[in-house]
Structure 1
Amino acid sequence: MSLEQASEIQRRMYQFIVGYIKREGMPPTNREIGREMNIASTGHVDYHLTMLEKKGYIVRTPKKSRGIKLTNPLNGVPVKGAIAAGRPLDIYPDSVDRCVDVGTEAFARDNCYALEVKGNSMIEDHICDGDFVIIKPQSTCKNGDIVVALHTQEGVQGSATLKRFFQEKENDRVRLQPANSELEPIFIPKSVWDREWTIQGRVVAIIRQCNSAA
């Protein structure tokens, strides 16, 4: 985005915000912007953010410490929480103020979202603890797909896990297969699967964020 209408300090502030979002997956606070720009007054920071908003570079949400959004967003997808690559975790929240830069608009067009991986049950598929998996929402899948499987009981959302899906018709069951030779698969009778489990989406990409050493 061209920054011709912005002052020099506003250009540097905007570039810091863009870099911070790329690096951290969320916008900076006013205090963090002030530290970077050597501005002691948060009111002074707020003035320049107001000018960036008036000039159409950002949009702000009142009373939120990280309530800055870019009007020309990065090629990112929202992070909706964590997913277990191990024992199922509590279901991820509906929304959070983070995003992961994926370098292409294609995932956003498909309404994809990101989940942060917790655990190493998929490590032999090169999905490690701390990675982000990009999920394409869908309720069906093919054998061998890596999916988000959601367990519900009595209509209440319970826990979700990241595994390869296999339907074993000969055994009348579903197998959720880890990619870790030290772990056992989860076997679910087909009747229980149909009653208590759903597919929330399929993994279409893996993002690993590397932090360079200081």
Structure 2
Amino acid sequence: MDQLIQTIVIAAIPVLFAITLHEAAHGYVARHFGDMTAHAAGRISLNPIRHIDPVGTILLPLLTLAVGGILFGWAKPVPVNFSALRHPKKDMLWVALAGPASNLLMAIGWAIVAKVSWAFPDSYYAEPMLEMAQIGIKINAVLMVLNLLPLPPLDGGRIAVSMLPYRQAFQLSKVEPYGMMILIVLAVTPVLSWILSPLYRGFVYVLSLIFGI
């Protein structure tokens, strides 16, 4: 029990940062391209309280930490009115890409923290910082590869809608009302793990090669 509590305390910072910055990034980029919806709702913020979803941000990460497996979670989605963007179909690409891009940058940042921790093994903070960095890499890698799946309303689905010709984009966009249901079905079966695991392991492997961790 003490070990679990220690892990939860160490994991809190990287998990909250991963989820909060992912959502805030969507809001920042949407505002840049003309949509003020998130700004008006007070969701362009680095305050994690504004983005916390009781189930996705707290309960689910705690459960995955307790039972093992891939660390997983989500925040309250930042509201984006794509029709308010200056060039809706084109700008949608950058708004959607902002979330996974933030997770990529955070994973790289945590890899640097891990590298520094390895370089100073005798430091009092080396072990907890290394554990925090490893969790940070894991949660950001999972959020990045999951959100890049081409399934609306995931970011990857929105990216695909932005890049596809209008007819194909319209057909894919019709999947959005059922997207979360499809994702839940995939998550409770081995299918989602089959899809995510190779992508996740490949990304972490490349990161470990680059930073020697």
In the superposition, the TM-score normalised over structure 2's length comes to: 0.25
Structure number with larger C-alpha Rg: 1
Of structures 1 and 2, the one scoring higher in RCO (CA 8 A, sep 6+) is: 2
**Greater strand proportion:** 1
**Greater helix proportion:** 2
